[in-house]
C-alpha cells in the first residue's frame, strides 16, 4: 500500500514531464452510461479488456447510469478532451437530444459534442408476437391490424426508447395504428408479451432467443439489412417490400475536441482489439456479433442513423398530445 | 417428488464442491460487509461485484452473487437496527422498531430475531422455489398491469395500519412520498417532470438516498447536538439472546411474513419491496397491543425481515423458471449468467440442471452460512455501540456520503440524501412519521405507471380492471382491507386506533 | 441513547393556549408545497380520465396533499405549541449539514481521501475537541482504510484530487 502512495506522490512531481509523453501514459476511463449488466456494459467490458492489451495501460470502466444514458453521454461530452475519457454509447445517443428538442428542454449534450471512434457491435431488431396471435408473416400482421384498427398492442422499453423507435418505423411505413404500452426496460417489455398482455414487441436476438426456442414467442420479421445468421428463416422488412432498417448498436466516442493524433491511437487500438480472440469469444457469448467500423465509416453510420431516428421522433411527436 | 429429490442431491453435490462452497461463504461475508456500509444495499452490492464475476465459472458467479445478495440484506438489517440506516427500501420498517429496540437496550435480540427470521424465510423461499418454480412462474406471468395496479393499491391501504400517529399526518407524508416519486422522466410520455433541468434527476430520485437521509441523517442531526451525549450501551451477554417471550411473539410474524413475502416476491416487477411494509401493517393489525409498534415491538422486526427475505427468494422464481427479470436485482443476476453464454429462459432448468439445482442448493447453504456466521457476530455488532458517539457519528456521516456516491458514481445522490436529512429533521421536529414517505416514494411511480399502462392496453376503458379475474379478486381484497380500516370510523365515528388506545387524542 | 421526540405531540395543554400551534404551521407549509407543485405542474398536459397525461397524477396528488395540509392545519388546535418545540440541537445540526455539504462539494474537487480526512479532523478536532493524536489517527485511518476497501477492493472509481491522491 505504502509504495502505491509513494508512487503517486512521485508521479505528482513528474506530472508536467509526463504530459508530453506519448498517449496513453496513464489509465483511461471508459464511461458506460448504463448500469452493470446492460448491453453497453457487456460490450464495454470486453472492449476495455482488449484495449488494455493493445495500449499497455489500464482501461477502467465507470458506470454512470441515469436518464436513459443521458447522464453518462453528457459526462463524456463535457469531459476534458484528452483521450483519457472515452464513452461506450448505444444507439440511443442520437435520440436523446432529439427528444430534448421536441420537449423544448435544454439538451444535456448534443451529438456534435462527441466524435465517433469506432462501431463495436450492431444487433438488428426482430419482431416477435405472442404465439396465440394467428399470424405468421408481416402481411398477416398488417392485415390483422387493418381488420382490428387500434386493437393490437405492443410493449416497449419506454417512449422514444430502443424498442419503441423500430415499432413506430413499421407502423408509419405500413400506416397502422396500435396501442403502445411503454415499460421500464427491455426485460419488462418482453415479460408483458410473454404474459399475453400485449400482442407484439420488437426485441434483440439475445433477449428473445430462449423464449423463441421454447415456443413462447413467434418471430415474424427483422429490421436487419440482411437476415440474421441465427435466424435464417426470418425475412427482412426489405424483402417484404418495406424499406426500414433498425439496429441497436454500441460504439465508442470521445469528446469532439480530442486531438487528432490521440484519436488515431485509439482508433488503431480498437482495430487491433476487435480482432483479439478473447474479445471475440466474449462478444459471441453475449450474443452481440462484432460489427466493426472505423471512425470515418462509423461517422457516416451514426449520421444516417441519427437522421432516420430524428425523422421517427418527429413523426411520433409528443405522445399523449 | 423422487426426481426433485435426486436433482436436489445433484445440486448439493455442486454446492458442496469445495470451490463453489468457498465462493458461497465469501459471497456471504462480502455481502454482509457491503450491506453494513450505509447507503449500500443488495442492489449496489451485486452491481459492484458483477464485473468481478465475469471471469468466473457461471455456477460460481451466480452462487457468489446470491451470497452477496443475501449477505447485503442481512448487513442492511444490522445497520438499520443499530444505527437507523436502511440499506434498501425493504429495511425501512426494520429501522422503526429495530432501532427503537436498540434504544431500549434490546439490540441483541433484535439482531438475533432478524437473523433467525431471515433464515427461516429464506428456507421457506427455497423450498417454494424448488417445488413449484415452473407452475408458479407461469401463474406469475398472468400479472399484467391491471393486476399490478390492484396489488399496489392494496399496498397503499396498508398505510392505515402503518403509523401510530395521527391518520391525517400519516396520509400527508404518504402523499409527500408519492409526489417525490413523480420526479423524473415519465415513462409513458417522455416528459421530464420536476427535475429543474437536472439531467441526473431523469430517472427520478432513488429510494436509498431518500431512506438514508430521512432515517439515518436526521437521526444524527437530532442526537449529535443533544446537551448530554447519548448513553453508551453496555450490553450484557444474557441481553444478547431473545427472551422466551420475545421468541413466542416472533413465531407468528415470521411464519406469516415468510408466506406473504414469497407470494409477493414471485410477481414480476419491483413490487416485492412492498412486502416488508405489508407485513408490518398485517402484524400491527393482528397484534393485541398495536400501541407497542414503533416503540420497539419485536414483531415489527420479525415480520418485515422475514417477508423481505422470502420475497427476495421468491423473486428468483420467474428469473430461473422463465428467464425474466423481476426487478433490478434479478436483472443483474441474469446479466451475470448471460455473459457466460447461457441464456436464461424457460429451458434453463432442463438445459442447465446443474446451474439451477446448484443454485437452489447453494441458497440453502448460503442461508445456513449466514445464520452461523451472524448469530455469534451479534455480540460483536452490538459492541459497535460502545464506540463513543463523538467518534461514531462523523464516521457514519462519511460512510453515508461514500455509500451514496458509490452507487452510481455521482454526487447527485449525495445531495438528495443530505436534503432529505434536513427535511426529515424538520418533519420529525413537527411530529411527522417518516415511514409513509418511503412507502409513497416506492409505490408512486409503479402505481402511476401500471394504472396508465392498463389504460393504454384497454384503449382507455376502466372495464379492464373488471374483466380480469385476478385483478377483480385483488381489488375485492383491497376494498375489504379499506372497509376494515374504515369500519370503526363509519359506524362508531372512531378510528380503530382509539379502540386499542393508540390515538393519543381521544382518551 | 437519549429519548428522541418522535410521534405525535402530547397535548397536555388546553386548546389554543400557548400561541401558534405546530400543526397549524406544518399544515400550512404542506398546503403551500402542494400549491407550488400544482403551479409547477401546469406545463404538463393533463390528458383525460381515460388517457391520463403526464400532469394528471401529480395534480391529483398535489390536490390531495393540499387538502390534507389544510385539514392538518384546521384540526391542529390541540397540537404542541410552536414555541414549545425545543431547538437545542439545531445549531449542531446546522454545523453537521454544512460540513456534509462542504465534504460533498470537495469530493470531486480535491479527491476522496483528502476531503474525508479534513471532514473528520474538523468534526473530531474542532467540534468534539478530542485529543490531537486520536483525531489524526482516526481521520487518517478512516480515510485510507475506507478508500482501500471501496476503491481498490470493490473497484468503485472514487474521485482523486488534482494531485492524483
Q: Is the pLDDT of residue C2 over 50?
A: no
Q: Measured between CA atoms, how close is B410 to chain A, in angstroms?
A: 7
Q: Is the pLDDT of residue B254 over 90?
A: yes
Predicted local distance difference test score (pLDDT) of residue A14 = 42
| CB–CB contact B224 C89 (8 Å) | yes
Q: Is B55 on the interface with A (CB under 8 A)?
A: no
Q: ∠A256-A257-A259 over CA atoms, to 5°?
A: 115
Residue of A nearest to C45 (CA): A321
Helix, coil or strand: residue A9: helix
Q: Is the pLDDT of residue B342 over 90?
A: no
Contacts of C163 in chain A (CB under 8 A): 12
Pick from A102, B456, B457, B202: nearest CA to C52: B456
Taking residues B298-305, report their average pLDDT. 94
Q: Is C163 on the interface with B (CB under 8 A)?
A: no
Beta bridge partners of A154: A180, A200
Predicted local distance difference test score (pLDDT) of residue A105 = 81
Residue of B nearest to C69 (CA): B172
pLDDT digits (tens, 9 = 90+) for C51-99: 898 999 999 999 999 999 999 999 887 788 887 788 888 889 999 999 9
- Predicted confidence band of residue A19 (pLDDT cuts 50, 70, 90): very low
Taking residues B332-356, report their average pLDDT. 82
Top residue of C68, C119, C134 to mutate, by most chain B CBs within 10 Å, is: C68
If you average pLDDT over every residue of chain B, what do you get?
85
Give the lowest-confidence range in A205-209, B462-466, C107-111.
Answer: A205-209
Helix, coil or strand: residue A47: helix
Residues 6+ apart with CB under 8 A from B10: B353, B354, B357, B358
Contacts of B412 in chain C (CB under 8 A): none
Taking residues C41-52, report their average pLDDT. 89
Taking residues B130-139, report their average pLDDT. 81
- Domain assignment present for residue C111? The answer is yes
Same domain, C141 and C114: yes
Q: Are strands A126-129 and A85-90 parallel, antiparallel or unpaired?
A: unpaired
Give the lowest-confidence range in A213-217, B174-178, B373-377.
Answer: B373-377
Taking residues B479-493, report their average pLDDT. 69
Residues 6+ apart with CB under 8 A from B387: none
Same domain, C28 and C68: yes
Count up the domains in chain C and report the number.
2
Q: Measured between CA atoms, how close is C26 to chain A, in angstroms?
A: 33
- Chain B, 26 to 85: residues with Cβ < 8 Å from chain C are 33-34, 37, 48-49, 51-52
Contacts of B399 in chain C (CB under 8 A): 146
Chains in touch with B (3+ beta-carbon pairs under 8 Å) read A, C
Q: What is the share, in percent, of chain B residues with pLDDT greater than 70?
A: 93
Taking residues A208-232, report their average pLDDT. 91
- Domain assignment present for residue B416? The answer is yes
Q: Is the pLDDT of residue B499 over 50?
A: no
Same domain, C115 and C68: no
Element holding A115 (H helix, E strand):
strand A114-124
Same domain, C74 and C99: no
| CB–CB contact A187 B47 (8 Å) | no
**Higher per-residue confidence, C7 vs B484:** B484
Mind listing the domains of chain A with CATH numbers?
27-122+248-316 (3.40.190.150), 126-222 (3.40.190.10)
Same domain, C94 and C139: yes
- φ/ψ of A214, rounded to 5, equals -85, 0
Burial label for B55, CB within 10 Å (0-12, 13-18, 19+), is exposed
| CB–CB contact B341 A160 (8 Å) | no
Predicted local distance difference test score (pLDDT) of residue B135 = 81
- Predicted confidence band of residue B231 (pLDDT cuts 50, 70, 90): low
| CB–CB contact C22 B431 (8 Å) | yes
| CB–CB contact C11 B418 (8 Å) | no
| CB–CB contact C51 A60 (8 Å) | no
Top residue of B169, B412, B457 to mutate, by most chain C CBs within 10 Å, is: B169
Q: Is the pLDDT of residue B153 over 80?
A: yes
Predicted local distance difference test score (pLDDT) of residue A67 = 76
Evaluate whether B490 touches B170 at the Cβ level (below 8 Å). Answer: no
* The last residue of a domain, from among C84, C104, C138: C84
Contacts of C96 in chain B (CB under 8 A): 220-221, 224-225, 397
| CB–CB contact C61 B103 (8 Å) | no
Dist. CA C85–CA C95, nearest whole Å? 20
- Domain assignment present for residue C30? The answer is yes
Predicted local distance difference test score (pLDDT) of residue C3 = 40
Cell reading at C109: 474537487
Count interface pairs A-C at CB distance under 8 A. 22
Predicted local distance difference test score (pLDDT) of residue B432 = 92
- Predicted confidence band of residue A2 (pLDDT cuts 50, 70, 90): very low
DSSP state of C160: B
**Which residues of A touch chain C, with CB atoms under 8 Å apart?**
1, 5, 8-9, 11-12, 15, 29, 60, 62, 318, 320-321
Residue of C nearest to B219 (CA): C4
Dist. CA B144–CA B134, nearest whole Å? 18
Contacts of B401 in chain C (CB under 8 A): 100, 103-104, 107
Same domain, C67 and C102: no
- Domain assignment present for residue B87? The answer is yes
Q: What is the share, in percent, of chain A residues with pLDDT greater than 70?
A: 93
Taking residues B132-152, report their average pLDDT. 86
Dist. CA B180–CA B423, nearest whole Å? 12
- Chain B, 456 to 485: residues with Cβ < 8 Å from chain C are 456, 460-462
| CB–CB contact B175 C65 (8 Å) | yes
The ipTM is: 0.88
Q: Is the pLDDT of residue A299 over 90?
A: yes
pLDDT digits (tens, 9 = 90+) for C88-143: 888 899 999 999 999 999 998 999 999 999 999 999 999 888 999 999 999 999 99
pLDDT digits (tens, 9 = 90+) for A76-98: 998 889 899 999 999 889 888 88
Same domain, C119 and C148: yes
| CB–CB contact A105 B334 (8 Å) | no
Residue of B nearest to A209 (CA): B343
- φ/ψ of C101, rounded to 5, equals -60, -45
- What is the residue range of B202's domain? 2-499
* Partner residue facing B51 (CB), from A61, A151, A192: A61
Chains in touch with C (3+ beta-carbon pairs under 8 Å) read A, B
Q: Is B103 on the interface with A (CB under 8 A)?
A: no
Residue of B nearest to A180 (CA): B456
Contacts of A11 in chain C (CB under 8 A): 164
Q: Are strands A179-182 and A153-156 parallel, antiparallel or unpaired?
A: parallel
Number of other residues whose CB lies within 10 A of the CB of residue B302: 34
- Chain B, 174 to 213: residues with Cβ < 8 Å from chain A are 184-185, 187-192, 197, 199-203
Residue of C nearest to A59 (CA): C157
Evaluate whether B114 touches B301 at the Cβ level (below 8 Å). Answer: yes
- Chain B, 151 to 190: residues with Cβ < 8 Å from chain C are 164-166, 168-169, 171-172, 175-176, 178-179, 182, 186, 188-189
* The last residue of a domain, from among C69, C84, C99: C84
Number of other residues whose CB lies within 10 A of the CB of residue A54: 18
Taking residues B336-340, report their average pLDDT. 81
Chains in touch with A (3+ beta-carbon pairs under 8 Å) read B, C
Top residue of B179, B293, B295, B435 to mutate, by most chain C CBs within 10 Å, is: B179
If you average pLDDT over every residue of chain C, what do you get?
85
Q: Is A191 on the interface with B (CB under 8 A)?
A: yes
Contacts of A102 in chain B (CB under 8 A): 190
Dist. CA A93–CA A303, nearest whole Å? 11
- What is the residue range of C49's domain? 22-84
Pick from B224-238, B369-383, B386-400 the range whose average pLDDT is largest: B386-400
Predicted local distance difference test score (pLDDT) of residue B9 = 87
Taking residues B279-301, report their average pLDDT. 90
Count up the domains in chain B and report the number.
1
pLDDT digits (tens, 9 = 90+) for A288-297: 788 899 999 9
DSSP state of C127: I
Dist. CA B204–CA B184, nearest whole Å? 4
Give the lowest-confidence range in A33-37, A76-80, A173-177, B192-196.
Answer: A33-37
- Domain assignment present for residue B411? The answer is yes
Q: Is B222 on the interface with A (CB under 8 A)?
A: no
For cell 499497455, what's the residue? A56
- Domain assignment present for residue B506? The answer is no
For cell 373488471, what's the residue? B466
Dist. CA B142–CA A195, nearest whole Å? 5
Q: Is the pLDDT of residue A11 over 50?
A: no
**Higher per-residue confidence, C12 vs A132:** A132
Amino acid at each position: 500500500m505504502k509504495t502505491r502512495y509513494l508512487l503517486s506522490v512521485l508521479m505528482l512531481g513528474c506530472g508536467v514531464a509526463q504530459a508530453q509523453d506519448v498517449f496513453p501514459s496513464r489509465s483511461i476511463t471508459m464511461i458506460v452510461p448504463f448500469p452493470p449488466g446492460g448491453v453497453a456494459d457487456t460490450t464495454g467490458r470486453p472492449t476495455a479488456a482488449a484495449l488494455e492489451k493493445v495500449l499497455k495501460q489500464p482501461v477502467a470502466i465507470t458506470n454512470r447510469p441515469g436518464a436513459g444514458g443521458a447522464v453518462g453521454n453528457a459526462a463524456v461530452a463535457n469531459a476534458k478532451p484528452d483521450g483519457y475519457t472515452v464513452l461506450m454509447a448505444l444507439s440511443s445517443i442520437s435520440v436523446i437530444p432529439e427528444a430534448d428538442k421536441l420537449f423544448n428542454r435544454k439538451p444535456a449534450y448534443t451529438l456534435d459534442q462527441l466524435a465517433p471512434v469506432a462501431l463495436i457491435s450492431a444487433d438488428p431488431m426482430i419482431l416477435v408476437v405472442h404465439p396465440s396471435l394467428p399470424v405468421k408473416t408481416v402481411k398477416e400482421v398488417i392485415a390483422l391490424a387493418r381488420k382490428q384498427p387500434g386493437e393490437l398492442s405492443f410493449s416497449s422499453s419506454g417512449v422514444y426508447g430502443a424498442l419503441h423507435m423500430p415499432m413506430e418505423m413499421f407502423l408509419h411505413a405500413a400506416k397502422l395504428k396500435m396501442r403502445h404500452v411503454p415499460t421500464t426496460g427491455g426485460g419488462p417489455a418482453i415479460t408483458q408479451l410473454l404474459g399475453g398482455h400485449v400482442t407484439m414487441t420488437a426485441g434483440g436476438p439475445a433477449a428473445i432467443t430462449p423464449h423463441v426456442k421454447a415456443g413462447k414467442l413467434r418471430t415474424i420479421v427483422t429490421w436487419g439489412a440482411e437476415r440474421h445468421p441465427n435466424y435464417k428463416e426470418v425475412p427482412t422488412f426489405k424483402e417484404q417490400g418495406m424499406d426500414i432498417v433498425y439496429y441497436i448498436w454500441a460504439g465508442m466516442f470521445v469528446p469532439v475536441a480530442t486531438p487528432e493524433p490521440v484519436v488515431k491511437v485509439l482508433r488503431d487500438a480498437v482495430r487491433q482489439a476487435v480482432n483479439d480472440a478473447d474479445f471475440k469469444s466474449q462478444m459471441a457469448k453475449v450474443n452481440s456479433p462484432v460489427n466493426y467500423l472505423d471512425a470515418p465509416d462509423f461517422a457516416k453510420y451514426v449520421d444516417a442513423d441519427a437522421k432516420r431516428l430524428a425523422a421517427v421522433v418527429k413523426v411520433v411527436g409528443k405522445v399523449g398530445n | 417428488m423422487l426426481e426433485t429429490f435426486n436433482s436436489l442431491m445433484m445440486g448439493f453435490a455442486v454446492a458442496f464442491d469445495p470451490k463453489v462452497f468457498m465462493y458461497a461463504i465469501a459471497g456471504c461475508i462480502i455481502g454482509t460487509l457491503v450491506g453494513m456500509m450505509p447507503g449500500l444495499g443488495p442492489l449496489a452490492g451485486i452491481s459492484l461485484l458483477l464485473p468481478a464475476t465475469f471471469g468466473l465459472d457461471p455456477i460460481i458467479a451466480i452462487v457468489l452473487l446470491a451470497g452477496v445478495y443475501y449477505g447485503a440484506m442481512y448487513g442492511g438489517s444490522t445497520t438499520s437496527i443499530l444505527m437507523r440506516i436502511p440499506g434498501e427500501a425493504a429495511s425501512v420498517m426494520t429501522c422503526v422498531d429495530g432501532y427503537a429496540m436498540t434504544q431500549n437496550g434490546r439490540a441483541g435480540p433484535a439482531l438475533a430475531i432478524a437473523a433467525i427470521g431471515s433464515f427461516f424465510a429464506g428456507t421457506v423461499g427455497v423450498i417454494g422455489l424448488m417445488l413449484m418454480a415452473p407452475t408458479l412462474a407461469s401463474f406469475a406471468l398472468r400479472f399484467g398491469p391491471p393486476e399490478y395496479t390492484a396489488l399496489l393499491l392494496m399496498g397503499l391501504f396498508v398505510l392505515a395500519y402503518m403509523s401510530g400517529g395521527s391518520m391525517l399526518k400519516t396520509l400527508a407524508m404518504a402523499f409527500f412520498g408519492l409526489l417525490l416519486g413523480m420526479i423524473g422522466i415519465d415513462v409513458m410520455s417522455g416528459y421530464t417532470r420536476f427535475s429543474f433541468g437536472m439531467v441526473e434527476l431523469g430517472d427520478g430520485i432513488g429510494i436509498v438516498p431518500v431512506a438514508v437521509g430521512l432515517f439515518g441523517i436526521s437521526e444524527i442531526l437530532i442526537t449529535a447536538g443533544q446537551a448530554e451525549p447519548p448513553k453508551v450501551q453496555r450490553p450484557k451477554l444474557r441481553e444478547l439472546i431473545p427472551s422466551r417471550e420475545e421468541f413466542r411473539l416472533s413465531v407468528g410474524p415470521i411464519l406469516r411474513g415468510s408466506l406473504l413475502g414469497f407470494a409477493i416476491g414471485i410477481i414480476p416487477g419491483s413490487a416485492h419491496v412492498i412486502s416488508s411494509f405489508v407485513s408490518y401493517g398485517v402484524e400491527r393489525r393482528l397484534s393485541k397491543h398495536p400501541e407497542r409498534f414503533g416503540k420497539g415491538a419485536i414483531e415489527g422486526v420479525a415480520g418485515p425481515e422475514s417477508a423481505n427475505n422470502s420475497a427476495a427468494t421468491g423473486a428468483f422464481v420467474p428469473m430461473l423458471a422463465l428467464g425474466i427479470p423481476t426487478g433490478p436485482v434479478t436483472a443483474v443476476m441474469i446479466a451475470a449468467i448471460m455473459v457466460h453464454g447461457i441464456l436464461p429462459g424457460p429451458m434453463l432448468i432442463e438445459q442447465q440442471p446443474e446451474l439451477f439445482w446448484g443454485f437452489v442448493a447453494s441458497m440453502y447453504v448460503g442461508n445456513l452460512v449466514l445464520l452461523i456466521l451472524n448469530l455469534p457476530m451479534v455480540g460483536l455488532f452490538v459492541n459497535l455501540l460502545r464506540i463513543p458517539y463523538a467518534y461514531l457519528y462523523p464516521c457514519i456521516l462519511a460512510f453515508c456520503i461514500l455509500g451514496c456516491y458509490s452507487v452510481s458514481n455521482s454526487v447527485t445522490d449525495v445531495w438528495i440524501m443530505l436534503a432529505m436529512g434536513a427535511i426529515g429533521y424538520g418533519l420529525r421536529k413537527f411530529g411527522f412519521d417518516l415511514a409513509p414517505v418511503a412507502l409513497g416514494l416506492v409505490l408512486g411511480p409503479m402505481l402511476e405507471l401500471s394504472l396508465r399502462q392498463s389504460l393504454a392496453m384497454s384503449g382507455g376503458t376502466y372495464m379492464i380492471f373488471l374483466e380480469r379475474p385476478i385483478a377483480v379478486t385483488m381489488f375485492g381484497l383491497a376494498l375489504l382491507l379499506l372497509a376494515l380500516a374504515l369500519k370503526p370510523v363509519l359506524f362508531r365515528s372512531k378510528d380503530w386506533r382509539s379502540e386499542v388506545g393508540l390515538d393519543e387524542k381521544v382518551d | 441513547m437519549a429519548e428522541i421526540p418522535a410521534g405525535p405531540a402530547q397535548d397536555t395543554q388546553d386548546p389554543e393556549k400557548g400561541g401558534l400551534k405546530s400543526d397549524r404551521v406544518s399544515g400550512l407549509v404542506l398546503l403551500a408545497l402542494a400549491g407550488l407543485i400544482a403551479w409547477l405542474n401546469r406545463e404538463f398536459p393533463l390528458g383525460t380520465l381515460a388517457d391520463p397525461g403526464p400532469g394528471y397524477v401529480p395534480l391529483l396528488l398535489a390536490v390531495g396533499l393540499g387538502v390534507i395540509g389544510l385539514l392538518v392545519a384546521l384540526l391542529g388546535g390541540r397540537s404542541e405549541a410552536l414555541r414549545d418545540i425545543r431547538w437545542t440541537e439545531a445549531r449542531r445540526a446546522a454545523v453537521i449539514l454544512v460540513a456534509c455539504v462542504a465534504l460533498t462539494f470537495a469530493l470531486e474537487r480535491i479527491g476522496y481521501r483528502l476531503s474525508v480526512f479534513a471532514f473528520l479532523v474538523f468534526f473530531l478536532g474542532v467540534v468534539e475537541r478530542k485529543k490531537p493524536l486520536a483525531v489524526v489517527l482516526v481521520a487518517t485511518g478512516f480515510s485510507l482504510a475506507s478508500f482501500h476497501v471501496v476503491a481498490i477492493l470493490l473497484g468503485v472509481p472514487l474521485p482523486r484530487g488534482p494531485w492524483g491522491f
